[in-house]
Chains A and B, each alone.
Chain A
């Protein structure tokens, strides 16, 4: 039987009473798809070996500068609120993660992904694909120009709607820092109702996924601006100068 939002809310509330860490609970039944897909055995603690102490290298050879602007990928201008999302990628010790790949993907302003499996009856935007990439600068900075995504329904339960979000994929200095996550927008009324967001039961940790509106990033007559710094876990080795250089063979 399909659950209602009230059922899900009760489950979210019950899970919030359990002790939680800074990462999502992977055994989080309110997100129904997780039930058969989370390991039941605890993760096995191991010391990383050589290959795990390095991340793959990416460079400007891999990504064109234009790929950070999601609003210029087609002949026309996409519909919606033009935004800039910027910030820095740092490791757990506050050091910049330079010259690493950042990938983003998102729905359009109407909450529709340009994907065959997204059958939500909101319009496609012929001028918006919703995919971007960039390479972090020497100070770990990234910057995307895009359109604010809309919320969308997703059938986890009756009347399930995801808060607006942008998916982010990140690499650190080490392979062990690999992260895929989602950036949310401040003040979204759907936060309390969303089991993916609420799977992080520590409220402080959850807030780390919410960007800040930043009027200094907003530009006159052009776009609003959001700032979101992304802190990865700590690296296991001392990052070298070579982590910030390009390594074109």
Chain B
């Protein structure tokens, strides 16, 4: 069957996609919380103030969760999914837990989707944790990416959290992903 094409999320997504605590996978004040944040910028390095970022991740033990409750947060259940809108400076943030490795020899990462006005289809990428040099060195995706672009897929650690900037175009353009069964036209 032919897949329905994507379309831009448009400028008014706040109306339909925003909801309370959408970026709080755990409560921000929780002692377990880490902040995952960054800026989305365009081909001229200007902020993209109307982007939506989503993350999907394993829990700290590496379990892929099958738990609803991402829209009506109960303040306790960790569902592994969150959504954030960028602010006028192109900045987004999540409060979450660090994902664990889903298999013993795999590098843990956040799966990320990017939507924006001006972006005609969503983009996929990964945000790896920075602290596992051995696992990162052996990671199938990172190994297949040109060395000078690998850093765009790896978060930077800072006190209390992780930084992941997303550049849609130009210098330091983020590596965006496609998958074997996904029929993207852009190349």
Contacts and interface: CB of A to CB of B under 8 A. Distances in A.
B119 A37 contact: yes
B186 A181 contact: no
B173 interface: yes
B65 to A, nearest CB: 7
Contact of A41 (B117, B173, B182): B173
B4 A230 contact: yes
Interface residues of B, number: 79
B29 interface: no
A132 to B, nearest CB: 8
Nearest to B124: A176
Give the dominant DSSP class at B's interface.
loop
A63 interface: yes
B23 interface: no
B116 interface: yes
B15 A43 contact: no
Contacts of B75: none
B58 A46 contact: no
A44 B3 contact: no
B118 interface: yes
A42 B175 CA distance: 9
A49 B110 CA distance: 11
B6 interface: yes
Contact of B57 (A51, A53, A205): A51
Interface of A: 20-28, 31, 33-59, 61-63, 90, 92-94, 101, 103-106, 113-115, 117-118, 129-131, 133, 167, 169, 175-182, 196, 199-200, 204-206, 208-209, 230-236, 242, 246-249
Contact of A46 (B16, B54, B179, B183): B179
Contacts of A26: 119-121, 186
Given A63-B71, A205-B5, A48 B179 contact: yes
B179 A45 contact: yes
Interface stretch (B30-38, B42-50, B130-138, B155-163): B42-50
A126 to B, nearest CB: 15
Contacts of B145: 44
Contact of A23 (B103, B170, B183): B183
Contacts of A105: 12-13, 15-17
A200 B79 CA distance: 35
B10 interface: yes
A21 B16 contact: no
B65 A231 contact: no
A175 B2 contact: no
A204 B2 contact: yes
A39 B15 contact: no
A175 B54 CA distance: 11
B13 to A, nearest CB: 7
B183 A176 contact: no
13 contacts: A23-B6, A24-B6, A36-B169, A37-B119, A50-B103, A51-B111, A57-B67, A63-B71, A92-B3, A101-B71, A105-B12, A196-B8, A235-B181
